[in-house]
Structure 1
């Protein structure tokens, strides 16, 4: 039998269903503990994208009037307290001017259900980009943190490096890892170019000196996520090797290897 819910509750479930269709794990009316206390959240939406788990908290306002500034200020404080990656407020009768100004200076999205459905792909792409940027920056920091180790410990880690070798016979540990650090920097640059719609985007795979041109977001997000994962495995192997690796390509997914082989064949 269909469930008879009040309009405001039905609205919550419609929003939750939309988020679920986009790949989120959505829960209606969840209690979330923050730094300053417990909060009743209309909807929580979680998704692991680009290796990073995102938490969105959602407030639904099935009102006959525009949502005021005060309500957005209160919700903004909750978003910050629970450490959410994004806060969304859904309302079908709009938002007062003051509420819109508050959202511009906070990690908030004010939307209607129809508008969100139309813009969802852009939101998800932006979320994946943020996740990849965070992973790339974290990995760069991990490599650079080797210089915080003792000389003996650093030499041990460097000896376990299995990444692509440098094309230049230069002294020093940084030269050994230069190809990988260069690729990490180039991936961030590729994401920045794509954000400004400067297609096609030039992309370099690990170990390749011939660039690839990528023409759309799905393709770029796939190759960058796969490449970041490969670089993370190379780093993990250097820091704590689990098995003996002869060639770093053993740490690259078969799907990525097959894609690159097809691209090279077509280029030839």
Structure 2
């Protein structure tokens, strides 16, 4: 059944839906506690990246006139009080010159729905790229840290490694983790290439020496996120095994396995 909302409330939900489509966890009309008190916020949007949750607070002005300076000053104080990473004001009738000036000197974005949808996709990709790069670097450091352990502990950890074997038949302790470390390095490189719009970007699956060309942010972020999660599970199994894993593919999501199989079948066909 359709919900009959006032126009201003429908606008809030349209803004929330747009942010949700971009990967944010959103809430409409949330009461947020700040350092100096509680504030009723039209929309809140949260996104976790590298273990840190970023908070955006949003004001929605479905007015028939331009938003004045005073409204932006009030909202700016709320953004500061709740410690939000960013404040956004959505309006379809524009902003007065004084409001625009205030926003330039604060952590605020003044926009319309159409303008926001056009400009924000790359910005969200940058946030996700930063988080993935931090996770990849942390994984590289943790795998490399095995060599800092005494020999007995190092041998025990390496014996618990369940990641993909070397495709070149290499043996010995120095080659055990090489495939995962190589993929981590290649994923950082792929993210860097994409950041400079050098498409298509080559992505190497954990179990293949044949790369896959990825042509857009959505696909690249998905396969790298999934691969990083799998590598994190390989690390966890190596550092503190919780169950008997015979093949690292057991640690890969079914969605990722199905996607790779579909890509390979298309290539073979």
Return the TM-score normalized by structure 2. 0.74
- Where do residues 1-268 of structure 1 align in structure 2 (5 Å cutoff)? 2=4, 7=8, 11-20=11-20, 24-34=24-34, 36-40=35-39, 41-46=41-46, 54-61=54-61, 64-66=65-67, 68=69, 70=73, 73-78=76-81, 81-82=83-84, 84=85, 86-92=86-92, 93-94=94-95, 96-102=99-105, 106=107, 108-119=108-119, 121-146=121-146, 152-166=152-166, 167=168, 169=170, 175-267=175-267
Return the TM-score normalized by structure 1. 0.74
Instruction: Say whether the 8 Å CA contact 1:72–1:102 is kept in structure 2.
Output: no
Consecutive unaligned residues of structure 1, counting only runs of 5 or more, are none
Name the CA shift for 1:150/1:71 in 2 (closer, same or farther; >3 Å): farther
Name the CA shift for 1:97/1:149 in 2 (closer, same or farther; >3 Å): farther
Q: What's the RMSD between the two structures over aligned residues?
A: 3.7
Could you tell which deviates more after superposition, 53-62 or 143-152?
Answer: 143-152
Name the CA shift for 1:12/1:251 in 2 (closer, same or farther; >3 Å): closer
The alpha carbon displacement at 1:238 in A equals 0.9
2:213 alignment partner, SS class: strand
Consecutive unaligned residues of structure 2, counting only runs of 5 or more, are none
1: distance between equivalents of 2:250 and 2:208? Answer: 15
2: distance between equivalents of 1:257 and 1:220? Answer: 15
Instruction: Say whether the 8 Å CA contact 1:70–1:99 is kept in structure 2.
Output: yes
Name the CA shift for 1:67/1:239 in 2 (closer, same or farther; >3 Å): farther
The alpha carbon displacement at 1:220 in A equals 1.5
Instruction: Say whether the 8 Å CA contact 1:50–1:225 is kept in structure 2.
Output: no
Instruction: Say whether the 8 Å CA contact 1:72–1:99 is kept in structure 2.
Output: no
Instruction: Say whether the 8 Å CA contact 2:90–2:110 is kept in structure 1.
Output: yes
Instruction: Say whether the 8 Å CA contact 1:200–1:216 is kept in structure 2.
Output: yes
The alpha carbon displacement at 1:211 in A equals 1.7
The alpha carbon displacement at 1:50 in A equals 9.5
2:87 alignment partner, SS class: strand
Instruction: Say whether the 8 Å CA contact 2:90–2:112 is kept in structure 1.
Output: yes
Name the CA shift for 1:4/1:187 in 2 (closer, same or farther; >3 Å): closer
2: distance between equivalents of 1:218 and 1:87? Answer: 25
1:243 alignment partner, SS class: coil
2: distance between equivalents of 1:255 and 1:243? Answer: 22
